[in-house]
Structure 1
Amino acid sequence: MDDLDMLPMAQRKYGLDIVEPRQWPRDGGARREPVYDPNFEPPRLVRLVGWRSCMCCGDLFFSSDVRRQRLHPEGCTYQYI
């Protein structure tokens, strides 16, 4: 094993990748999966992912950050009359 594998995270010259959870079937927004950054000790919570309803049209979409993203990322299809 290399000496870098044995160093504490703060002294390493490389970082670990953030693992994103895959999209799951629609559940009405009940489930939230945490995304952690393993480069900190203990691992730091970065954001939560899950299904969210659009503030404009009300349709569900999969959000990579349920706290910040509140509209469809590709644009809302709702038409004002």
Structure 2
Amino acid sequence: MVIGVTMIKVIPGEEKAVYNELKKITGIRDVFHVFGEYDFITIIDVGSLSEINKTVDAIRENEMVTSTQTIIGAEL
């Protein structure tokens, strides 16, 4: 199991639309709207590092997403 925490910035005013799209992406377990430097934090729960990469790529494909930052953790 590999867990990723991806912090996401979006175009101002597009938060609701992005939230709805993030909820549809396979591998995203949770989506949290946050306040501060980022607009959302997603918890990605998948089986491999390559799946994390595919999920983050799917997030970045959204034209309303302006930037992402991902932290990855794995079971020992």
Instruction: Give your verdict on TM over 0.5.
Output: no
Tell me which protein shows more helix as a share of its residues.
2
Tell me which protein shows more strand as a share of its residues.
2
Instruction: Name the structure, 1 or 2, with higher relative contact order (CA <8 Å, separation 6+).
Output: 2
Max radius of gyration: which structure? 1
